[in-house]
Structure 1
């Protein structure tokens, strides 16, 4: 039986994720922007928390952890490269490492760019990847610490996952990302349709996260650096994909 994934809205525009296996009763939490929504979601379902997986060190992804751990004795996993600025870790992981959760394999991917040491967690049996602020719905994270080349390498790594993979990203930025995407790829019918769906969902208070990798590949301009239409619009017909990505990222920063 597939695991159940619950999207937990936190703060003003963050998301945490609960990953629950009904057979074993084990539950993992991906990132902890704040404690109360997570604790309420666990209580409402009668779940105990066993593991916490941290993607990167930014406060809006870890600051609720201490309070959650007061109520749940959970093992904390994070990047070995980021351990010096993460909360105390029980398990340190690196790119390519795997660990077991409730009988399912979890693959660790280094997706540096937004920060150095940012990791994603990919569960192939669940068709889900927890990408936080690397690959986001219709976007990617701002390059606070890494370079455009690093982020492009990270996105390329994520694009190699199966298209049906659920992309569980860390923020509700999708509506604003869509406005920008339409300036880069205005004639993309799938993007136009997605923009309309996003507006409807947000008007109803429905999260637009998670999405699927297939949808991101079709509509997210940060994954579409090879598109001839986008290259022509940017005046970069002969640039490398990494150079096109860097230009798109620079335009988003100024948008």
Structure 2
């Protein structure tokens, strides 16, 4: 079964993964109930469970309304008191079996301290830790923790499909090409993204292999990326974590 992105707000995706059998489905990070309810009514399905990656409202804000519609809905979330309505708490190393699907839980702090991801069936639901051609802002974590989280995700099999929480790819591409302008894989991905967005199609999911080839935050060790970071920061011999931190600061202030 292929994951389906349900657009929400300006640029969020709520992911839906149909159950292996029957009318059920799995939902990931439903920040808004309205598009989920509309899709369920149109498609004749109902959710078996919700997976939550972190506590931000644009990822959890629709859960209460969904549980009003489906009172028995299971809500699987990190051990995070800012998610008060979880029916099951999970953490690093746990295994989740729902709707005929199995996922390993990975702790990936950085964007938030309790952020988790779900990996299984060749899919990675990574919330706001890893984006296509980018990564999440460090609202609560340190550069070292975020870099370790990205390293962990980057080590997953290359065929893994990255299902992240936002349609940021086109704006991320503008920054990535500033950092790594001579990367042919990035040029191809940027052109593909422009074509998809011109016709209002999602740029996701994307393979992890493509991200490893194109995403500057997964290429912090690449000589071309290091040279750009040095030119921007004015520092030539940054340690790996410091280079990543400089890259994230550069992106924070970047305007295309």
TM superposition score category, shorter chain reference: over 0.9
What TM-score, normalized to structure 1?
0.93
Which residue does 1:26 correspond to in 2? Answer: 24
Map 1:86-125; keep pairs closer than 5 Å. 86-123=83-120
Map 1:128-139; keep pairs closer than 5 Å. 128-139=123-134
Q: Where do 4+ consecutive residues of structure 1 move more than 6 Å?
A: none
Deviation of 1:103 after TM superposition, in Å, equals 4.0
Map 1:1-255; keep pairs closer than 5 Å. 3-72=1-70, 73-80=72-79, 82=80, 84-123=81-120, 126-235=121-230, 238-255=237-254
Could you tell me which runs of 5 or more consecutive residues in structure 1 were left unpaired when the two chains were aligned. none
Moved more, 62-71 or 238-247: 238-247
Alignment: residue pair count: 249
Separation (CA, whole Å) in 1 of partners of 2:32 and 2:21: 28
2:48 and 2:98 in contact (8 A); partners too: no
Deviation of 1:25 after TM superposition, in Å, equals 4.1
List per-residue Cα deviations over 1:77-114 (Å, max 9, x = no partner).
1011x1x1013111001111112124432111111101
Deviation of 1:237 after TM superposition, in Å, equals 5.8
Separation (CA, whole Å) in 2 of partners of 1:50 and 1:134: 25
2:212 and 2:218 in contact (8 A); partners too: yes
1:180 and 1:252 in contact (8 A); partners too: yes
Could you tell me which runs of 5 or more consecutive residues in structure 2 were left unpaired when the two chains were aligned. none
RMSD value, Cα: 1.4
Deviation of 1:122 after TM superposition, in Å, equals 0.7
